[in-house]
Amino acid sequence: MNNKDYKSIKERINKYYKDKKALNLNYIRLEGLNKKLFDIEKEINNPIFTASLNTDLKAVNYDSIYVKGGSPSSPIENEIENIYRAYEKEKVKILNEIYLTKKLIYELETNTERFDCYIGMLSSEAKTIIEMVFKKGMSITATALNINMSKSSVSRKVEVITKDILLLCDNYNI
């Protein structure tokens, strides 16, 4: 295994852990967006109008109420319609954000799926070492101290693990 392959596998493993972190953050974001959507739908469907109205409306002369679309319309009715339109715009905006977040989650899951399989094939000791070095960003020395191994053993194991992952990637054309 040459140095270029070794670096590319290290980059792939780092990217895998960054993608996993981004995946978790996007799940949290999706949960928040769904809560916002639920709150907006609850507000729209609430029989008790809770939004604050613009109280700076001019007085209504009922002789001059104009008809818009077949029904009389006053400034207060227009204000209420504007509030509901704003709710609908916010709802559409949140639905678009939910769609984009779900799309990003799908892409991240697709990217991490195969590496999940490769990491799953490793022994528990190898998983621990790879997580400490790549996920937590610990040095070889700190990893060796944490798992009571020598620095050279950990370094060798990291190299063996990356070789194994490289072979798996080559065999499955990733």
- What tokens were used for 63? 């002789």
Largest Cα separation within the chain, whole Å, is: 92
Q: Could you tell me what percent of the chain has a pLDDT over 70?
A: 83
Are the C-beta atoms of 169 and 9 separated by less than 8 Å? yes
**In this predicted structure, what is the pLDDT of residue 56?**
61
Please check the confidence at residue 52 and state whether its pLDDT lies above 60. Answer: yes
Residues 6+ apart with CB under 8 A from 16: 111, 112, 115, 119, 134
Please check the confidence at residue 95 and state whether its pLDDT lies above 90. Answer: yes
Domain ranges in the chain are 3-55+64-172
**Beta-bridge partners for 166:** none
Q: Which of 54-63, 89-98, 116-125 has the highest mean pLDDT?
A: 89-98
Please check the confidence at residue 170 and state whether its pLDDT lies above 90. Answer: no
Please check the confidence at residue 109 and state whether its pLDDT lies above 60. Answer: yes
Least confident among 41-55, 96-110, 159-173: 41-55
Mean pLDDT of the region 114-132: 86
Residues 6+ apart with CB under 8 A from 132: 138, 142, 143, 146, 147
pTM flag (> 0.85)? no
Assign residue 57 a region: left if phi > 0, alpha if psi is -120 to 50, beta otherwise?
beta
- What tokens were used for 96? 């678009």
pLDDT tens-place string over residues 141-159: 999 998 999 999 999 998 8
Secondary element (H or E) of residue 96: helix 75-121
Mean pLDDT of the region 9-25: 91
Mean pLDDT of the region 26-54: 86
**In this predicted structure, what is the pLDDT of residue 20?**
92
The mean of the pLDDT values for the chain is: 83
Please check the confidence at residue 120 and state whether its pLDDT lies above 60. Answer: yes
- At 73 the three-state DSSP class reads strand
SS3 content of the chain, % helix, strand, coil (to 5): 75, 5, 20
